[in-house]
Chains A and B, each alone.
Chain A
Amino acid sequence: MRTRLFGLLMAFAILVMPFAAFAQDDVAMGADMAEACPAPANLPESITIGAVLTLSGGASVYGTTQQQGINLAISQINESGYLGEGTTLSIIFEDSASENEQAISAMTKLVEEDGVTMVLGPTLSREAFAADPVAQENGTVVMGVSNTAAGITDMGEFVFRNSLPEAAVIPGVVAQATANLGLTKVGLIYANDDDFTVSGYNFFRQSFIDNGVEIIGEETYATGDVDFRTQLTNLIAAEPDVIAMSALATEGVQIILQARELGFEGALMGGNGFNSPAVLEQTGEASNGLLVGAAWNIASTNPLSTAFMAAYEAAYSARPDQFAAQAYTGTWMFATALRCADSVDRTAVRDALAGLAEFATPLGSFSFDENRNPVHDPVVQVAQDGAFSVLGAE
């Protein structure tokens, strides 16, 4: 019954989509920049960009949704003639197989052999540290759409990212949650063999200390573990009001389920990795009270964000996550840089990208700071009955 209802809703959504898109023409992606920059006249017939994504291997769950977000943006950009009459944007995807070495060879192929104008990715921060210098030395723009580690853009002036670093997300979440929920005792759990989770843990720890919350225990696990009952039993014994998890989604789902199963009724807190409808679908009621700090709010009423979500669902029959939203936005940012530069000259494109300011995107109004990092506010979301809402906004 549920599936049939869902099918009907989907059919309805697909039927209504074109009209909805038509009606919202004034809030279409890129509309603001179309005014700021005139239609380009000097772009070649075809422009190729590249993307290095984790399309296979352990991190492929992220790379594949990024690929969908990028493909959606490319088709919208071409259909709307955003790059001017007769110019089409195309993309070459290269798989890094979640390995640093393959990320380097993929990046080398894209910038040296295929001669792409710009590159999106790589998916993982460690891959970015390995491969971005290849693009930097070649003078080709590379933009991370999911790199959150500190120091990414220090690699050079051609290295950008549109993903908020953990340093910008986690302190905000902890401060807001502490104020809103009156937290006093926290238990921490994280994977100690993964760069993303360890740096997230460092920020969590510091932020809780700064906010005067007592850390009653710290537990670690190894990436790929499936049973966290032992660590959780240790933490729950000290009766924390919140368990903060610096985890990737796969392990995060298990931690949420098992914490509830062991009788933990307090709040749960996670970083960027939890900002995915899949996490809520996988955990059901167990994720009630899950606090997630993120760069993109799934429940946002920002018209560009809702339009993106509708278009994504129509195209892929699945709800997008933050990885898809950031990849989609990144592709539009590249197109906008090309449009505003009206050139495929690598340096002109770089300068146009760096100059993007107050660009209306699904992530909100977007600008780069002087170090090519994103400037926009993170949101704190709380999960209830399978949906996120903004904390404190009732």
Chain B
Amino acid sequence: MNVTQQLVNAIWLGSVYSLFALGYALVFSVLGVLNLAHSAVFMWGAFIGLISVIQFGLPVWMALPVAMVGAGVIAVLLERVAFAPLRARGAPRISQLISSIGASIFLVSLAQLVFGTQPQRFPFGSIPTDAIEGLPFRVTPIQIIILVIAVVLMALLNLMVQRTRLGQRMRAVAFNQRTAGLLGINVGGIYLSTFFLAGALAGAAGVLYGLAFNSMTPFIGDAIALKGLTVIVLGGLGNIQGALVGGFVVAGLEVFSIAAGGSNYRDAIVFTLLFLILLVRPQGLLGRKEITRA
């Protein structure tokens, strides 16, 4: 078994999982709801990036900011349509979960109408995919670029939440919405900012995913949706560092259960471990106690 190569595979896969899960975690930490349409926003991000390159002729590096803004706007619309009315009425959080499922079905079906079902890709030669020479393992420049972008985005998000005024307000709203409102924080505005940021992260993850795997259909979000959920629960719900760690842990578990010859039981191994971790540490690996939300 080529341990170094498998370790490289795990780190790389983990960065994709973590980046996807960050947006999930951000929305959950501030609003306390699971946004099951996050994977649909992710898919739209991938397509916005693709369209900006193949239809509008933008350079590939521009796909990332364009997709982040586009996906951020979609997420804001999602907040206004699927979440805000329910929150305003004080509906149970589980209703918001179901409305996000409706939104997800809508977004995926719409993508199918607009983009068709045939897989699409960035043009050949636009992405460096030849392995770097002279290393004891195989890794491509695009894998390294993606890893770096993912880590930078995660670090920026963390800084923003911990150090800026916006981040401070977000944490205040997360702690207690009513108190934050009484303190003069524009709670509705914070929700919009949170969704925009989460959408932008999903969009970035979508483009990077598109560049990495280079085969995009309206259904690319389906497979990663459950993975993202696993990652944030494992890491500690609503905990941003937790989502980061969780992504690498899940990817590592997957890679090494396959490497050890258990590819038939890979997901069973991941979920059994998740199950056990939840029983011992219900708050997740990095979570704090006393967060009870649905």
Q: Which residues of A contact B (CB under 8 A)?
A: 56-58, 60-61, 63-65, 192, 219-227, 229-231, 233-234, 237, 249-250, 253-254, 257, 261-263, 278, 281-282, 284, 318
Contact = CB atoms under 8 A, between A and B. Distances in A.
Contact of A253 (B5, B109, B215): B215
A225 B255 CA distance: 12
A229 B124 contact: no
15 contacts: A63-B117, A64-B118, A192-B264, A221-B266, A224-B223, A227-B13, A229-B5, A230-B10, A230-B255, A233-B2, A233-B259, A234-B259, A237-B2, A262-B5, A262-B138
Chain A interface main SS type: helix
Given A58-B222, A61-B217, A192-B264, A231 B118 contact: no
B264 A220 contact: yes
Contact of B263 (A61, A64, A220, A284): A220
Contact of B254 (A230, A233, A234, A250): A230
B214 A234 contact: no
Q: Which of B109, B209, B222, B258 has the most CB of A within 10 A?
A: B258
B119 A282 contact: yes
Nearest to B139: A261
Contact of A229 (B1, B9, B119, B214): B9
Q: Which of A220, A221, A226 has the most CB of B within 10 A?
A: A226
B1 A237 contact: yes
Nearest to A251: B215
Given A64-B117, A234-B1, A219 B9 contact: no
Given A61-B217, A219-B263, A233 B9 contact: yes
B214 to A, nearest CB: 7
A282 B263 contact: no
A57 B219 CA distance: 8
A286 B115 CA distance: 25
Q: Which of B2, B10, B220 has the most CB of A within 10 A?
A: B2
Contact of A60 (B112, B220, B223, B254): B112
The 6 closest A-B pairs by CB, nearest first: A224-B223, A60-B117, A229-B9, A230-B258, A220-B263, A61-B117
A234 B258 contact: yes
Contacts of A233: 2, 5-6, 9, 259
Contacts of A250: 119, 215, 217
Contacts of B214: 257, 282
A219 B258 contact: yes
Chain B interface main SS type: helix
A97 to B, nearest CB: 10
A58 B9 contact: no
A261 B222 contact: no
Contacts of A61: 117-119, 217
Interface string B92-134: 0000000000000000010010001111010010000101000
Given A226-B213, A261-B138, 15 more contacts: A60-B117, A61-B118, A61-B217, A192-B263, A220-B263, A221-B266, A222-B267, A226-B209, A229-B13, A231-B263, A233-B2, A250-B119, A254-B213, A257-B129, A278-B118
Contacts of B259: 230, 233-234
A237 B2 CA distance: 8
B168 interface: no
A231 B258 contact: yes
Nearest to A218: B263
Contacts of A227: 9, 12-13, 16, 213
B140 interface: yes
B9 to A, nearest CB: 4
B209 to A, nearest CB: 8
A192 B217 CA distance: 22
B129 to A, nearest CB: 6
Nearest to B257: A230
B215 A284 contact: no
Nearest to B226: A224
Given A220-B264, A231-B258, A253 B222 contact: no
B121 A261 contact: no
Contacts of B5: 229, 233, 262
Contacts of B266: 221-222
